[in-house]
Amino acid sequence: MDMRKSRVLRQMRSGKVATCVKLNLADTRAAEIAAMCGFDCIWLDMEHVPSDFSFIENAIRAAKIYDCDTLTRVPHGCYSDLVRPLEADSTGIMVPHLMSLEDAKRVVYYTKFHPIGRRPIDGGNTDGKFCLVDGNDYMKQANEERFTIVQIEDPEPLSELEEICALPGIDMLFFGPADFSQGIGKPNQFDDPQVKETRELVARTARKHGKFA
């Protein structure tokens, strides 16, 4: 038995665009409706939205009925905050406010299994089909079919952007224009040249190292 494969990665690895909708409503029916509408992915939020983990778990289940991926933006916390959505079978996680290469290494360490990282092993949850996926297959498939996104939304990590993008285990980068504009002292000035240049820089550097942006 295998893990469920990622629809987003299947689309993007074949050169297609993957569609994603952000859901701020803590209603599993809204998640199911979004999945029914044909989105490739539903973005669930635990950084800005007061969603509890029971909702996250049930929204993931609702999306999977229609083979729809889920992306959970995690809070800035401990390693369990990174791992628990993955074990509930969120197809990806997004880590906000990455501030350094050391931050990125820590994220990889806890979200990827050997030989990339040292994610704590527990195949007894729904992502591993409650131990029905062989342990070594589970680790390999989780590395291949689950994605880790880091957000570049502050000026601080730009000096290490090349190294962050080159790091094995970082699958995608997401530029956050609102917080970045605030970080450079120009809040919500999205047409500011520095905001536009940095957006392009993040995408260009990610692609240079074979990562999605």
Q: Which positions are annotated as active-site residues? A: 48
Count of Cβ atoms closer than 10 Å to residue 50 Cβ: 9
R_g of the chain, CA atoms, integer Å: 17
DSSP for 135-196 reads: HHHHHHHHHHH-EEEEEE-SSGGGGGHHHHHHSTT--EEEE-HHHHHHHTT-TT-TT-HHHH
Q: 86, 146 in Cβ contact below 8 A?
A: yes
Token pair listed for 93: 């996680």
State residue 14 phi and psi, 5-degree precision.
-95, 10
User: Residue 130 belongs to what H/E stretch?
Assistant: none
State residue 156 phi and psi, 5-degree precision.
-60, -45
